[in-house]
Amino acid sequence: MPLEPARRARGWTLPMKKNHAASLQTGGPKLGLGVMYPSPGAVERIGSDWDWIWVDGQHGQLGYQEMLALVRACDLVERPAVVRVASHEGGVIGQVLDMGAAGVIVPLVNTVEQARALVKAAKFPPLGERSYGGRRPVDLHGRLYSETANVDTLLVAQIETPEALGNAEAIAAVPGIDALFFGPDDVMLRRGLKMDQARPIEDLRADLATVATACGNHGKIAVTVGANPELMALCLALGYRMVVGGSDAGLLSNGSKQASAWAREAVKGNATGKGVAAGIY
């Protein structure tokens, strides 16, 4: 793409435009980090440990400016930012894609009709009706960004209710839906499981397989959360291509507990040498 005259005059170059949809489908499975706190610095510090970043604009503590800053941080560490929005509203979906996000995750997609409406919002004509003119895509990639945007970005439909599981095959078949994200919490909640109870892996196996099979049948990406090693192994065995393996909240909580535990043992005179030798930074 031609550089803008002002940038060309200064000798600046534009970032390489990447096809994130292709990068997330090639090679081995891609491990994701979930981000719910508005801390771009955290992404700069640990984002490169992972293959992609799930920016949670639905349940996280994130507004527009915070999400934009996180997407920019993901760009800095060269990891795709896939942003979950809070609703099916087309303007919100377009706004996230105009941030330069690699993809958008939409929650609670239960029917084919809902899936088709999301394609209309997230894809440019002739596939959809996404509005042209995103400030950041034009600034970074030029005015022709729309010519490849439909394949450069992912539209991810969350399958997280019994109704959605029953329609998974049909939703996966919708042109423009790039991936299905199995969300176990809402499924289990609707089946009466308390959210503080452990989820036996056998209770999830059939649902995980349903989504993975639907994706495999239609060439779509299967996405989910692998919250522990056993579940991660099952997801990978079923063919999931994008699996969230950690989160900022979980890493903060677990790391804090571990550090405070050995520090308190040291206070008691029981130093074990399990601290971080290089310091706290």
pLDDT at 243: 98
Print pLDDT tens along the chain (281 aa).
443 443 344 444 434 455 666 678 778 899 999 999 999 999 999 999 999 999 999 999 999 999 999 999 999 999 999 999 999 999 999 999 999 999 999 999 999 999 999 999 999 999 999 999 999 999 999 999 999 999 999 999 999 999 999 999 999 999 999 999 999 999 999 999 899 887 788 889 999 999 999 999 999 999 999 989 999 999 999 999 999 999 999 999 999 999 999 899 999 888 765 555 556 67
Report yes or no on 141 lying in a domain: yes
Report yes or no on 220 lying in a domain: yes
CB 220 within 8 Å of CB 177? yes
Report yes or no on 234 lying in a domain: yes
* CATH of residue 62: 3.20.20.60
pLDDT at 226: 95
20 noted as active-site residue:
no
Q: How many domains does the chain have?
A: 1
pLDDT at 277: 53
Token look-up 């609703």 returns 87
pLDDT at 2: 42
Amino acid at residue number 145: Y
Report yes or no on 178 lying in a domain: yes
What are the backbone angles phi and psi of residue 181, rounded to the nearest 5°?
-115, 110
Report yes or no on 280 lying in a domain: no
Report yes or no on 111 lying in a domain: yes
Token look-up 């397989």 returns 209
Catalytic annotation, pick one of 59, 88, 141, 218: 59
The 10 Å CB-count burial string (b at 16+, else e) for 72-104 is: bbbbebebbbbbbbeebebebbbbbbbbbbbbb
Report yes or no on 205 lying in a domain: yes
DSSP string, the chain: -PPPHHHHHHT--PPPP--HHHHTTSSS-EEEEEE-S--HHHHHHHGGGSSEEEEETTTSS--HHHHHHHHHHHHHTT--EEEEPSS--HHHHHHHHHTT-SEEEES---SHHHHHHHHHHHS-TTT--PPS--HHHHHHH-TTGGGTHHHHSEEEEEE-SHHHHHTHHHHHTSTT--EEEE-HHHHHHHTT--TTS---HHHHHHHHHHHHHHHHHHT-EEEEE--SHHHHHHHHHHT-SEEEEEEHHHHHHHHHHHHHHHHHHHHTT---S-S-TT---
pLDDT at 11: 43
Report yes or no on 262 lying in a domain: no
pLDDT at 202: 85
Residue range(s) defining the domain that contains residue 236: 5-248
Pairing state of beta strands 52-56 and 221-225?
unpaired
